[in-house]
Every structure is written in C-alpha cells, then in structure tokens.
Amino acid sequence: MEAIIEGAISLWNTTGIVGFMQNGGWGNALMILVGFVLLYLAIKKGFEPLLLIPIGMGCILSNIPFAYIASVDPTSGDAGFIKILYDAGIESGLFPVLIFMGVGAMTDFGPLIANPKTLLLGAAAQLGIFTALIGALLLSFLPGINFTLPVAASIGIIGGADGPTAIYVTSRLAPDYLGSIAVAAYSYMALVPIIQPPIMRLLTTENERKIKMQQLRPVSKLEKIVFPIMVITVCAILLPSACPLIGALMFGNLARECGVIGRLSDTMQNALMNTVTIFLGLSVGSKMAADKFLNLETLGILLLGMVAFGVGTAGGVLLGKLMNKLDPKHPTNPLIGSAGVSAVPMAARVSSKVGQEADPQNFLLMHAMGPNVSGVIGSAVAAGVLISVVPTMMAALV
C-alpha cells in the first residue's frame, strides 16, 4: 500500500499541474498563451501561417513543464527533438543557408535586372540595421541591460526583416542571444502586413500612392543566368564573409534560371524549403521558453527590432519619394521603397496592396519585387560587413 501511495505521489509530482504551480510556472503558462495567440493570428487572421504556426507550436511545446522537448532531460540526459533540431540547424547556421537557397530558387530577379535603380531602395531600407545597432549600444547604459558590440550588431540585423540572416549573424557573433533575436526577427517578418502600411500611408500622399510606373522591359534568359554568376564573383572579390548567404541565394537562383536542372530547382523551391521552414519555425519558437524570454534584455531586443523595422520601411519610402522627384520622366511610386526590407515576397505584396487601396488599377507587385530582392542581397552584404568588422573592432578595443 505504501508503495502504491509513493508511486501516486511521484506520478502527481511529474504532472504539468505541479509544474505550473512551481516557482516560475506562471511564466510557462503565460508563454503557452502567447503560443495560442500566434496560432490564432496564423489560422484565423491568416498572418503568415507558414511561419507563425510552427513558431507558435514551438513556443507551446517548449513551455510544457517536465516535457523537456526543447531541452535536455536532467534525469536521462536525453535531448528533446526540438533541442536536436536547434543545435543542428540554428546554432550551426545551417538552416539560414538552406533557406537562402530556397529563396533564390523561388525568386525571379528579372524586376531588379530590368530596373537596376531599385537596388538603391533595397540599400536605403537597410538603414534600420544601423539604427538598431546604435540603439542597442545606447540601451546598454540602462541598468540590467548589457549589450556589447557583437550583440548590438546581431540585434541590428533584425532591422532588415530577414530572419535567416539574423540567425546566421547571431550564431557567429552572439550565440547566447540567438533565441531572443531569432524570435524578434521572425515575429516582425510575420507581422509585416500590420507594421508597414501605417508607416507607408503616413509618409506618402494619396497622389503619390496612385503613381503608375512604366512597364518593365523584358529580361532575357542570358541576363538571368549571368546575373547570379556576376553577383557571386563580385561578392567573392569584395566581401568573402557574405559568400555563404549570397552564394546559397545565387546558387538557388541559377538552378531556377539555367533550365537544365529543373528537378533540383523544384526540390529547393518545395521539398527543401518546406522541410527547413518547419524545422526552423519549431526551433525559433522553442526559444520562447519563459526562463529565457521573460527578461529585460529580451524586451529591449523586441523594442529595438520594432524601431529598426519601422526605420527601414521609412528609409525605403523616403528614398522612393526622392527618386520620383529627381526623375519625373520615369516616375517611381514611393510605396515600392517599403519592399526594400528583406521579407520576400511579403513586403512586395504589402506595397502592392497599399497601392491598390488608392487605385485598384495600380499594379505594383512586379515593381516592388526589385527592391525586395535587392533588400535580401543588401541584408546579406550588411551581415558580411558586420561579421568581418565587429570581431576586428572588439580585438582593437581589448
């Protein structure tokens, strides 16, 4: 009888009820509710379900007491399956490279080739990266926050709205902050349709939103094949540290455009991309565990990410306004500047949607893809610069 009672007590002590009642268990319960909210936004509201559903489930699973799905079981020493995924794909930087390969295979670089000046819009949108970097260093003066230069650089990449690049840079410069930075980057990527439109409307007039751009010229197959080869070559000569991301992006695009490896291109676009998205989403969501997420530094990262994303959006729109003033013969709708952030193709779709609110006959999607693609390249280049420069600066300071 005594053995039965002890067994019952032991079983009770391993239930989630006891886990939630223990010190800090309220935080796990709160984060599980956050996970449910993410699922609601994805399923009911349709906010980027491919991202938010895996992230939301990762958040829920990682906060279940005594499940050890995203950590190591202290009793057996076995790692949970999401912990294994995180170590293999996020901590190593593998998943971001594979994501870039898939993005390259899915993306038509034709709009950028046809209208090269949109490269400037993508560059302007990277203003958010350096705004967040400076902001992180300033926040370090507050008690309870200690963002070093490598951490600040990693936080800055959130401003490019490029989750894979943020993960890649952070894994190299500030791996201890990988979880919170990855969550912030992917959260803002998923919330592009909510965050960007108010900024775009605030900075443009109705007449500017109605501007119709000239039809893009046709781009030959030869141009599309030469472009990724040329980009890789220039990157290899000027910035080798950006080659892992840029190289994967251009390899995927070359597979798409060359026309002789359709099976490989199809695999990158579908099977590989979908598989890595599932694993990456679960891994990112797992870092929303209460003990790591509910602290002052994480809140600071979320705030900086929001500000940086807004600044990046504004930078692209304002440069679009300037380009329209400087070259009235070739009008530029400033809305496409907001697509200079790296969320492909979400940001381009948002630019088109806001434009059609002003004029239902104004189709900006293909025009917005130019700065959108250049934003991906720009954020990868910024990442390469930070990876090269920040360690050198830290060594000099020491």
pTM metric for this prediction:
0.88
Q: What are phi and psi of 15, to 5 degrees?
A: -80, 160
Radius of gyration for the chain, computed over Cα atoms and rounded to the nearest angstrom: 22
DSSP 250-313: HHHHHHHHHSS-HHHHHHIIIIIHHHHHHHHHHHHHHTT-HHHHSSHHHHHHHHHHHHHHHHHH
Supply the pLDDT for residue 19: 60
Per-residue confidence in pLDDT tens, the chain, 398 aa? 666 766 666 655 566 666 666 766 788 888 899 899 989 988 998 877 888 899 999 999 998 887 889 889 888 889 999 999 999 998 888 999 999 999 999 999 999 999 999 889 988 888 888 888 888 888 888 877 888 899 999 988 887 777 889 889 998 898 888 878 888 888 777 778 888 999 999 999 999 999 999 889 999 999 999 999 999 999 999 999 999 999 999 999 999 999 999 999 999 999 999 999 999 999 988 888 777 777 788 888 888 888 888 888 999 999 999 999 988 888 999 999 999 887 788 889 999 999 999 999 998 999 999 999 998 998 899 899 999 999 888 877 76
307 CB burial (10 A radius; 0-12, 13-18, 19+): middle
Asked whether 160 and 375 are in contact (CB, 8 A), the reply is: yes
176: nearest Cα among 280, 38, 301: 301
Supply the pLDDT for residue 320: 93
d(CA 111, CA 218): 9
Supply the pLDDT for residue 11: 58
Structure tokens at 24: 């800090």
